[in-house]
Amino acid sequence: MDHKLISRRDIEFLLFEWLDVVSLCDRPRYADHSRETYAGALDTAERIAAEHFLPHRRKSDVVEPEFDGERVHLIPEVQAAWNAFAESGLLAAEQDYDYGGMQLPSVVDKACFAYVLAANVGSAGYPLLTAANANLLLAHGIEIEHACEKSCACTTCHVIVREGFGTLTPSTEDEDDLLDRAWGLTPLSRLSCQAIVDAAPLVIEIPRYTINYAKEKH
Closest among 112, 77, 75, 62 to 92, alpha carbons compared: 112
Q: Residues 6 or more apart from 199 whose CB is under 8 A from it?
A: 129
Q: pLDDT averaged over the chain? A: 87
β strands within 64-153, DSSP E: 66-67, 72-73
What confidence tier does 2 reach under pLDDT thresholds 50, 70, 90?
Answer: low
CA pair distance 37, 23, nearest whole angstrom: 13
User: Is pLDDT at 214 greater than 60 in this prediction?
Assistant: no
pLDDT above 60: residue 216: no
Going from the C-alpha of 171 to that of each of 16, 38, 112, 167, the distances in angstroms are 40, 32, 26, 12
Q: Is the pLDDT of residue 63 over 60?
A: yes
Domains observed in the chain: 8-126 (1.10.540), 158-216 (3.10.20.30)
Q: What is the pLDDT of residues 201-211, one digit of tens each?
A: 888 888 877 77
* pTM (whole model) above 0.85: no
d(CA 76, CA 56) in angstroms, rounded, equals 10
Asked if 94 and 30 count as a contact pair (C-beta separation under 8 A), the reply is no
Q: Which residue has the higher pLDDT, 153 or 116?
A: 116
Give the integer Cα–Cα distance in Å for 197 and 205.
15
For residues 53 and 119, is the Cβ–Cβ distance under 8 A?
A: yes
Using the predicted structure, report yes or no on whether residue 72 has a pLDDT greater than 90: no
**Contact (CB, 8 A) for 102 and 93:** yes
